[in-house]
Structure 1
């Protein structure tokens, strides 16, 4: 959606101020970060979720699952991105990889990744009253105020 917003002709000139990704569910064919050291059932589950959610996809490197593979990534239609990853999450490396991919693509906005140690995937959704979740929400509010 944010890449579509970067193309005026597709979304009628919608301008997004920023993009917040809370423990994004990105994946890909090539294993990165802690994905190789994670247990096989979890890796298999990650891959089967995508196959069942979007059976007509182009595979694990479909841009909807692996935005780093999107040739239009540089058109991301916002000027700032905040990515939160959880320290115990098999997907945490993908958040960092997304930051690298944005920079490599030539996108000219600001991107920041925050890794929260000791937390699992979607900690802020599952346990919204914990100190780390409250801090994330506060940082998100501050992110919205950035120029």
Structure 2
């Protein structure tokens, strides 16, 4: 028997691995990292046709405006190459016609998954506090 959920009110994306065929401005400057990130995606999903697959580039999902919740929290690190994708996701959701709220929490001077590398750092503790606050806020 599965868990029955009365209402799915929110979604938390912690350092999402979003990508795409067309580089965003910050991604265009580091071709080596672009090549690496493209390769990781193709290794993870060998049947994919491109990095515009909605599994890694949700902005290409034609049904994105039908997101099944009313709020989203996206956490990114200021120094993370994937940072701009998190902000772009927010922009796309707001323009999609989806009737919800998107918030981005950006940790200053931090890189991808910093909270796993140093879980007791000031920024990791602040992020955890924000996640708990988000989960306990039931609009």
The two structures have a TM-score, normalised by structure 2, of 0.91
1:23 aligns with 2:15: yes
Distance 2:7 2:82 in 1: 29
Q: Which moved more, 1:65-74 or 1:25-34?
A: 25-34
Moved over 3 A (4+): 12-15
Instruction: Tell me the secondary structure at the aligned position of residue 104 of structure 2.
Output: strand
Match of 2:26 in 1: 34
Distance 1:99 1:65 in 2: 15
**CA offset at residue 124 of structure 1?**
1.3
Distance 1:51 1:132 in 2: 32
How large is the Cα RMSD of the aligned pairs?
1.5
Task: Map 1:34-113 onto structure 2 (within 5 A).
Answer: 34-37=26-29, 39-113=30-104
Instruction: Tell me the secondary structure at the aligned position of residue 71 of structure 1.
Output: coil
Distance 1:101 1:73 in 2: 9
Q: Which moved more, 1:104-113 or 1:12-21?
A: 12-21
Distance 1:21 1:32 in 2: 19
Instruction: Tell me the secondary structure at the aligned position of residue 105 of structure 2.
Output: strand
In structure 1, runs of 5+ residues without a counterpart are 1-11
In structure 2, runs of 5+ residues without a counterpart are none
Structure whose residues are more often helix by fraction: 1
Distance 2:54 2:7 in 1: 21
**CA offset at residue 83 of structure 1?**
0.4
Instruction: Tell me the secondary structure at the aligned position of residue 33 of structure 1.
Output: coil
Judging changes above 3 Å, is the alpha-carbon distance between structure 1 residues 104 and 130 closer, same or farther for their aligned structure 2 residues?
A: same
Judging changes above 3 Å, is the alpha-carbon distance between structure 1 residues 14 and 125 closer, same or farther for their aligned structure 2 residues?
A: farther
